[in-house]
Chains A and B, each alone.
Chain A
Amino acid sequence: MDIKKIYEKIGFPRLIISTFLIILLITAATLKLPMSGIWQDIFTRFGMNAILVLAMVPSIQSGIGINFNLPLGVIFGLIGALISIELGLTGFASLFVALIVAIPLAIIGGYLYGLMLNKVKGQEMTVGNYFGYSIVSFMCIFWLVAPFKNPELTWAMGGSGLRVTLSMESSMGGVLDKFLAFKIGNVVFPTGLILTFILLASIVWVFSKSKKGTAMIVAGSSEAFAASNGVNVDKQRIIGIVLSTVLAAIGIIIYSQSFGFLQLYNAPLYVALPAAASILIGGATLQKAKIIHVIIGTFLFQGLLVVALPVINILSEGSMAEIIRIIISNGIILYALTRKAGEAA
């Protein structure tokens, strides 16, 4: 295997970003930053974000492309978590109740959304994006008038509506992170969090190898070919988007329990772009995505964010880290959008 082949295999964006990450890591080491804290953050943030990135896989596989409407699933996840907190549950019970409420809602919502997407083939990403924005702003009104009573959820000083950020300290905060967690040196490894991702990733992987999953991937790669083989393309696309929405709902619950806070109002708007950027950095294209792309992409993207912040805080001012995030995440999506179909990203 000559160098050119290896280069093609790695791909231009991954090469740039891994080089950048390695340079940052070396700088961090020479600046004598506490590396244990950095690794701890990388593991935790990997676990927090990986499921949201995983949600992109079924939607790309079924031919819909990037699911810019991730906020739809996120909102069902938030509703699940809110109901569980309202009931005053704690620990694993509260996590499971949140999931049990969120998943059926996400299935129904994803199904209806899938029906709609089948009417707008070719424009899924643009329509999905604005549909997501509309849902989020509509839900802003809902959060204001929602009949929740638990003082943990509503404003302390009176006034109507739910708080912007809710602490999950007394409910499900960190239950998965602490589950089976062990210490290597100073690094606390969030075993439960990573295991949850592995479990869900295996489900998606097993599904994609099953008969149903293969039909979905065939429908995604060539509509005409799938139709001539008797695959109902519209149905496969709905399966893809339902899976994606459910994963997004689970993803935000896992994310919030690790983060310790539930973010309402405009927060769901900022979910889709980083997830899309992560999977594309991992090597997925608008037509093709695998679990390995999720793992590589989330690791590189989150690693970059975690390492960049302390390093840049020393070398330059803090806003630089945020600027790098904006440029990299949008740059990679732009790069993928301007590739022709079939070209590797």
Chain B
Amino acid sequence: MMVPIVFLVLCLGGFFLSGLPVNFLFNEMVFRLSRNLILVLSLIIPVISGMGLNFGIVLGAMAGQIGLIIIMNYNIGGIGGLFLALLLSTPVAIFFGYLVGKVLNKAKGKEMITSMILGFFANGIYQLVFIVLAGRIIPFSNPNMLMSTGTGLRNTIDLNIVRKSFDGFIFSGITSYPIFTFIITILLFVGLYFFLKTKLGQEMRAVGQSMHIASVSGIDVDRTRIISIIISTVLAAWGQIIYLQNMGTLNTYNNHEQVGLFAVASLLIGGASVDKASWKEAFIGTFLFHLLFIISPLAGQNLMGNAQIGEYFRVFIAYGVIGVALLLHAWEKNKAITQLSDI
């Protein structure tokens, strides 16, 4: 519990320095939580099945964006369009997840760095498809999506036709808060809780504890790991769609890049580690990380007279927290190994 407490203190200190009004902060936090929780949630299952932090959720985010690009191309708006995007992104995410799982099974023990490089690699393919092939080989019926040259998607696509359609579904008449998104998020969290109690969930835990023991007791380790990554990728795709409908614009080539970094940092700030994570850490971590995100530029401005410092500081926190968490984890693990061999 040390990590979340340290960050809570940092947040409190930053809060007083920033001098932001509480109700502004509250509103901002409600929206940030609603759009980020599912993305953070998507990291939990791979951690439990022993594959570490899945930086490959970048591919899930891409699948979500592909779903949105398709509905924007046919101009299908409203809540119906959004559900269609969720539906369309799912098979794409399952396919991506399967590929990521296959690759990670070939790199056992190096899953985290491999999933990260895989994210960079997939980004190259994504750019190839949407900058070079879009409009030339892949037909787009909506000319507003393409750059003026007729090939390549625009850098930003306005999602006005689905903007906040998910957040406001059913409850839009009563309040402007994203009630529906919270209900779905809670359902997914509860679903995850019960999923881990099923046979498959227990098998994932067993694989996470020891691949060798799991395979001796008759669990198909490779298959279980692939399923775990598929679930993670699908959740990330949905999470990204929900994130983007709240934001209202799609930065075609940048939105997915930071997804892995921010989600992983959030989970770790909540006190999770490389082999232990639950819904509590996801929730606390997302809250603290985004609180720090809002207040640090202003705190930097008031403390040092330079907003840029706060800006760099929060990037430093995101990277630093991942670095330190990975360091401590590997350290502990090595200690355990030496102690065993000493006997």
Interface centre among B113, B116, B123 (most CB of A within 10 A): B113
Q: Is B169 an interface residue when CB atoms closer than 8 A count as contact?
A: no
Contact status of A319 and B331, CB under 8 A, knowing A140-B316, A160-B306: no
Q: Is A333 an interface residue when CB atoms closer than 8 A count as contact?
A: yes
How distant is A51 from chain B, measured CB to nearest CB, in Å?
A: 23
**Contact present for A327 and B128 (CB under 8 Å):** yes
**Contact present for B306 and A144 (CB under 8 Å):** yes
> Which listed residue (B127, B131, B320, B334) contacts A122, Cβ 8 A?
B334
Residue-wise interface mask of B (113-134) relative to A, using a CB-CB cutoff of 8 A (1 in contact, 0 not): 1101110110111011001100
**Contact present for B131 and A130 (CB under 8 Å):** no
Chain B residues within 8 Å of A330, by CB: 117-118, 120-121, 124
Chain A residues within 8 Å of B312, by CB: 137, 140-141, 144
Chain B residues within 8 Å of A136, by CB: 319
Residue-wise interface mask of B (284-320) relative to A, using a CB-CB cutoff of 8 A (1 in contact, 0 not): 0000000000000000000010101100110110011
Q: Is A127 an interface residue when CB atoms closer than 8 A count as contact?
A: yes
**Which residues of A in the span 133-149 have a Cβ within 8 Å of any Cβ on B?**
133-134, 136-138, 140-141, 144-145
**Contact present for B109 and A122 (CB under 8 Å):** yes
Chain B residues within 8 Å of A319, by CB: 127, 131-132, 152
> Which listed residue (B113, B151, B309, B320) contacts A126, Cβ 8 A?
B113
Question: How far apart sit A183 and B168, CA to CA, in the bound complex (Å)?
Answer: 70
How distant is B123 from chain A, measured CB to nearest CB, in Å?
A: 7
Chain B residues within 8 Å of A121, by CB: 330, 334
Interface SS of chain B: helix, strand, loop or mixed? helix
How distant is A217 from chain B, measured CB to nearest CB, in Å?
A: 22
Q: Is A320 an interface residue when CB atoms closer than 8 A count as contact?
A: yes
**Which residues of B in the span 125-153 have a Cβ within 8 Å of any Cβ on A?**
125, 127-128, 131-132, 149, 151-152
Question: How far apart sit A140 and B110, CA to CA, in the bound complex (Å)?
Answer: 29
**Contact present for A338 and B103 (CB under 8 Å):** yes
Chain B residues within 8 Å of A331, by CB: 121, 124
Determine the residue in chain A with the shortest Cβ distance to B118.
A334
**Which residues of A in the span 145-164 have a Cβ within 8 Å of any Cβ on B?**
145, 160-161
How distant is A331 from chain B, measured CB to nearest CB, in Å?
A: 6
Contact status of A134 and B121, CB under 8 A, knowing A316-B132, A327-B128, A337-B110: no
Chain B residues within 8 Å of A127, by CB: 323, 326-327, 330
**Contact present for A119 and B309 (CB under 8 Å):** no
> Which listed residue (A68, A125, A145, A326) contacts B124, Cβ 8 A?
A326
Contact status of A138 and B316, CB under 8 A, knowing A126-B326, A326-B120: yes
**Contact present for B326 and A323 (CB under 8 Å):** no
Q: Is A116 an interface residue when CB atoms closer than 8 A count as contact?
A: yes
Chain B residues within 8 Å of A338, by CB: 103, 106-107, 114
Determine the residue in chain B with the shortest Cβ distance to A269.
B319
**Contact present for A131 and B132 (CB under 8 Å):** no
Chain B residues within 8 Å of A129, by CB: 113, 116
**Contact present for A131 and B327 (CB under 8 Å):** yes
Interface SS of chain A: helix, strand, loop or mixed? helix
Question: How far apart sit A123 and B333, CA to CA, in the bound complex (Å)?
Answer: 10
Chain A residues within 8 Å of B313, by CB: 141
Determine the residue in chain A with the shortest Cβ distance to B149.
A317
Q: Is B250 an interface residue when CB atoms closer than 8 A count as contact?
A: no
**Contact present for B121 and A323 (CB under 8 Å):** no
Chain B residues within 8 Å of A133, by CB: 319, 322-323
Q: Is A168 an interface residue when CB atoms closer than 8 A count as contact?
A: no
Determine the residue in chain A with the shortest Cβ distance to B122.
A330
How distant is A102 from chain B, measured CB to nearest CB, in Å?
A: 23
**Contact present for A138 and B114 (CB under 8 Å):** no
Q: Is A120 an interface residue when CB atoms closer than 8 A count as contact?
A: yes
Chain A residues within 8 Å of B334, by CB: 119-122
**Contact present for B113 and A323 (CB under 8 Å):** no
**Contact present for A323 and B132 (CB under 8 Å):** yes
Chain B residues within 8 Å of A131, by CB: 323, 327
Question: How far apart sit A48 and B324, CA to CA, in the bound complex (Å)?
Answer: 33
**Contact present for A120 and B132 (CB under 8 Å):** no
**Which residues of A in the span 308-345 have a Cβ within 8 Å of any Cβ on B?**
316-317, 319-320, 323, 326-327, 330-331, 333-334, 337-338
Determine the residue in chain B with the shortest Cβ distance to A142.
B312
Q: Is B112 an interface residue when CB atoms closer than 8 A count as contact?
A: yes
> Which listed residue (B149, B315, B322) contacts A130, Cβ 8 A?
B322
Q: Is A273 an interface residue when CB atoms closer than 8 A count as contact?
A: yes
Question: How far apart sit A144 and B306, CA to CA, in the bound complex (Å)?
Answer: 9
- 12 A-B pairs, CB-CB below 8 angstroms? A126-B113, A127-B330, A129-B113, A136-B319, A137-B319, A141-B313, A144-B306, A145-B304, A317-B152, A326-B127, A327-B125, A334-B121
Residues of chain B at the chain A interface (Cβ within 8 Å)? 52, 103, 106-107, 109-110, 112-114, 116-118, 120-121, 123-125, 127-128, 131-132, 149, 151-152, 304, 306, 308-309, 312-313, 315-316, 319-320, 322-324, 326-327, 329-331, 333-334
Contacts A122-B109, A126-B112, A134-B324 known; 8 new A-B pairs at CB < 8 A: A116-B327, A122-B330, A122-B333, A137-B316, A317-B132, A320-B131, A323-B127, A327-B125
Residues of chain A at the chain B interface (Cβ within 8 Å)? 68, 116, 119-123, 125-127, 129-131, 133-134, 136-138, 140-141, 144-145, 160-161, 273, 316-317, 319-320, 323, 326-327, 330-331, 333-334, 337-338
Q: List the 10 shortest-distance A-B pairs measured between CB atoms, nearest first.
A: A326-B124, A120-B330, A130-B323, A327-B124, A330-B121, A123-B330, A338-B106, A133-B319, A137-B316, A140-B312
